[in-house]
Amino acid sequence: MALHVVTGAGPIGTATARLLAEAGEQVRVITRSGSGPEHPLVERVAADLTDTDRLTQLLHGARTLYNAAAPAYQDWRTGFPPLAASLLRATGRTGTDYVMLGNVYGYGEADGPLTPGLPMKPVSDKGRIRAAMWRDALAAHEAGRVRVTEVRASDFVGRGAISLFTLAIAPAVLAGAEAVVPAHLDSPHSWSYVTDVARTLVAAGARDDSWGRAWHVPSVSELSPRELALRLAEAAGMPAPGLTAMSPEQMAALAATDEVMAEISEMGYLYERELRLDAAETERVLGVRATALDLVLKEMVQEAGERGR
């Protein structure tokens, strides 16, 4: 039984910890509050992840660190650099393998399907932050200080998922209401199921040939936001949803009153064109394949029903 450390206990961190524990591995979950899933093999620890000395203590004896922690979306500019630096320093000190949860922001406005080997060409502040985190980690890997890999996901769907779809579209669809969405609605778009993200993280951390590169999470769907909303409505037995894309004026007004939505504007390009993740290597090498979309949508409908009780 090896010890693995998971930082962050949101939907991805929780799913990762559970997968490891259910496989008989010892897991230490570290969050600021000490939260995390309940399981006999899961130890929950409260700590500040930017306290490198404390984090180093908690990593001693661990085989792998899976990072699923992130600052609040509106705090990325100030919060992510010290968090990423602390994680990288602590894994380097202890020799712990380091699996990073990443996303597609660093690719910028790339054309065609996104492959894991594409260069980082970010066009947004958040993209530049993510790209810098990967470049720093890869440099440490190439210098022999730590083994690093990154698992990159697209927008999340599934139980507990937090994304533009789950925040701005799904609640309206499941309530039978119309939604005005701060995004284009009709371009094909890859969607990442939270459990598939966790499965990819665990698979990448378990192999000797996964390090020094990135892996893409297999997508449960490449439907456009509008098409995915229709499938969710059908799964819930609701009428076809009414969705409208926000005008620039509506978006500006919303951004002036909502600090999270204010951060969405610079990421709008992700919905203006098709966004497809090529995960063929993940499927071939890591053996991870996407969960069926119908199962994911059923889970989202069930979760909404549980909240409404």
Q: pTM here?
A: 0.97
In a domain, 106, yes or no: yes
In a domain, 122, yes or no: yes
Range of the domain at 146: 3-157+193-218+277-290
In a domain, 236, yes or no: no
Q: pLDDT at position 309, please?
A: 53
In a domain, 146, yes or no: yes
**What are the 10-residue block averages of pLDDT along the chain, 309 residues in total?**
96 98 98 97 98 98 98 96 98 98 97 94 97 98 98 97 95 94 94 98 97 98 98 96 91 87 89 95 98 98 83
In a domain, 200, yes or no: yes
Q: pLDDT at position 251, please?
A: 85
Q: How many domains does the chain have?
A: 1
In a domain, 306, yes or no: no
In a domain, 227, yes or no: no
Distance of alpha carbon 66 from alpha carbon 69, whole angstroms: 9
CATH code of the domain in which 132 resides:
3.40.50.720
In a domain, 117, yes or no: yes
Q: pLDDT at position 262, please?
A: 87
Q: pLDDT at position 308, please?
A: 66
Cα distances (angstroms) measured from residue 18 to each of 14, 42, 67, 91, 116: 6, 8, 14, 22, 26
